[in-house]
Structure 1
Amino acid sequence: MSDFRSQTSEGALVLFSGGQDSATCLAWALARHARVETVGFDYGQRHAVELEARLRVREGMASALPHLADRLGPDHMVDLTGYGRIAESALTAEREIEMGARGLPTTFVPGRNLIFLVAAAALADRRGLGVLVGGMCETDFSGYPDCRRDTIDAMERALTLGLERPTPIATPLMRLTKAQTWALAHELGGDALVELIVEDSHTCYRGDRTRRHAWGYGCGDCPACELRAQGWADWTAGR
């Protein structure tokens, strides 16, 4: 189901936002690597509640996956608020969430994943971690060109050249639907992991933690909520 290529690295660095996808990727990495660290990014996002959610999800992993708890190492936070001001979008400023003139949603933050990967690769190099793990997906996504595997492959080549060391980027969700992502979480950690993701992860672009749905908290009508809700409905219908 995943886009993982066998690694001989001693550890992994997970790009960890605290959302459904990155939480699933963290569990996936813990199942495959003896040493896993996480990195988050503050880029001035409107839904800054995800920065709090990521800490709750990290802490909850020990209970959801007790047999893997000793593999989870330190967390790191990178301040990219300056970049967020440059790459203004509906995720970093008070703008309507709609389709823009270029055919991309206004939630698209230009180059976000590229910036994240450069910063993560530098950190991984210093921490001695051999593989980056990201939740990018080109199956169920909001139309972001930096979520495509072609983009990730190009970044992998550029980072390998720029750091003069192999810099593989694993994207286990790349070709999964949101329903399959829920299924993968259940495969990795059963009901305990699914409940952790439902209760503590955050996806809503508007940062709404006041409304609780079967699939978790959110406004229910932004693109991120719609994808998560539809994936939940499809997965639970097929169980």
Structure 2
Amino acid sequence: MSSIKNEDVLVVLSGGQDSTTCLFWAKQNFRNVTAIGFDYGQRHKLELECAKRICEEYDVNYEILDMTLLNKLTSNSLTRSDIEVKAAKKGDSTPNSFVEGRNLVFLNFAAIFAKTHNIRHIVTGVSQSDFSGYPDCRDTFIKSLNVTLNLAMNYEFVIHTPLMWLDKCDTWKLSDDLGVFDIIKNKTLTCYNGIVGDGCGTCPSCLLRAKGLEEFYKKYRQR
């Protein structure tokens, strides 16, 4: 990582556990960190406020882009209050919380923002090890998109995915190694029902987060 210590980076930051862990990973590994978030009409929109507060506290410039067009193009439980968030059942291709094209759209706009600000490096918190059935969190997708963005803009982007091969347990471990475990635990919002910290405890996102935390305590340290 020493070769990028003197370079700038753009972090795709939602305010959840994964992207906020990536924010602090980026702060450790790059010179200047800028973050970008997206308002797409998500039911847990409070996550953007969590991201904003963390960025203000740690002196990171944070820009939020209006992407509410996604709400009009796709029907899913994250952008429709009348659709209950449910975990994927056997035989389902994706969970009903999957927002079609979300990471594709977000990373395209992040790349445009990055180029106009002379930034080559982009960090996103996607994980194939913990991707919950979302096809746009896979390593092959990120690598393919990286090539496409480079060709489309004639610019040498590098998309970094620090969590790609980490499950939730090891994502908690990374936050601990970075010295930000308490920040991630208490100040981020992963809950689909919009409850900061430990969340509602019943939605698929909360269950995954809690399971990983319990495994972290058992594997790495006592409470």
TM-score, with structure 2 as normaliser: 0.92
**2:143 is matched with which residue?**
153
| Matching of residues 96-111 of structure 1 within 5 Å | 96-98=84-86, 99=88, 102-111=92-101
* Pick aligned residue for 1:202 from 174, 189, 195: 189
Residue correspondences, number: 217
For structure 1, the residue ranges without an aligned partner over 5 or more in a row are: 63-71, 210-215
- The CA deviation at 1:157 is 0.7
**2:203 is matched with which residue?**
222
For structure 2, the residue ranges without an aligned partner over 5 or more in a row are: none
- The CA deviation at 1:6 is 5.6
**2:14 is matched with which residue?**
17
| Contact 1:114–1:146 under 8 Å retained in 2 | yes
- The CA deviation at 1:230 is 0.5
| Contact 2:55–2:61 under 8 Å retained in 1 | no
Q: 1:6 to 1:92 in 2, by over 3 A?
A: farther
Q: Provide the C-alpha distance between the structure 2 equivalents of 1:121 and 1:179, rounded to a whole number of angstroms.
A: 30
| Matching of residues 83-232 of structure 1 within 5 Å | 83-93=70-80, 94-98=82-86, 99=88, 102-189=92-179, 193-209=180-196, 216-232=197-213
Q: Which amino acid aligns with 1:97?
A: V
Q: Provide the C-alpha distance between the structure 2 equivalents of 1:59 and 1:232, rounded to a whole number of angstroms.
A: 26
The percentage of aligned residue pairs carrying the same residue is 41
**1:79 is matched with which residue?**
66
| Contact 2:5–2:29 under 8 Å retained in 1 | no
Higher RCO (CA 8 Å, separation ≥ 6 residues): 1
- The CA deviation at 1:79 is 0.3
Q: Secondary structure at the match of 1:217?
A: coil
- The CA deviation at 1:126 is 0.6
TM-score, with structure 1 as normaliser: 0.86
- The CA deviation at 1:103 is 2.0
Q: Provide the C-alpha distance between the structure 2 equivalents of 1:110 and 1:129, rounded to a whole number of angstroms.
A: 27
Q: Which amino acid aligns with 2:83?
A: R
| Matching of residues 37-56 of structure 1 within 5 Å | 37-56=34-53
- The CA deviation at 1:7 is 4.2
Q: Which amino acid aligns with 1:202?
A: L
Q: Provide the C-alpha distance between the structure 1 equivalents of 2:215 and 2:136, rounded to a whole number of angstroms.
A: 26
Q: Provide the C-alpha distance between the structure 2 equivalents of 1:85 and 1:218, rounded to a whole number of angstroms.
A: 27
- The CA deviation at 1:105 is 0.4
Measured against aligned partners, the alpha-carbon deviations of 1:156-187 in whole angstroms (never above 9, x if no partner) come to 01100001011110000000011101111111
**1:31 is matched with which residue?**
28
Q: 1:223 to 1:5 in 2, by over 3 A?
A: farther
Following superposition, which runs of at least 4 residues in structure 1 exceed 6 angstroms of deviation? Answer: none
Q: Provide the C-alpha distance between the structure 1 equivalents of 2:29 and 2:41, rounded to a whole number of angstroms.
A: 32
CA RMSD of aligned residues (A): 1.8
Q: Which amino acid aligns with 1:219?
A: C
| Contact 2:5–2:31 under 8 Å retained in 1 | no
Q: Provide the C-alpha distance between the structure 1 equivalents of 2:200 and 2:83, rounded to a whole number of angstroms.
A: 16
Q: Provide the C-alpha distance between the structure 1 equivalents of 2:121 and 2:200, rounded to a whole number of angstroms.
A: 34
Q: Provide the C-alpha distance between the structure 2 equivalents of 1:20 and 1:105, rounded to a whole number of angstroms.
A: 20
Q: Provide the C-alpha distance between the structure 1 equivalents of 2:56 and 2:177, rounded to a whole number of angstroms.
A: 20
Q: Secondary structure at the match of 2:178?
A: helix
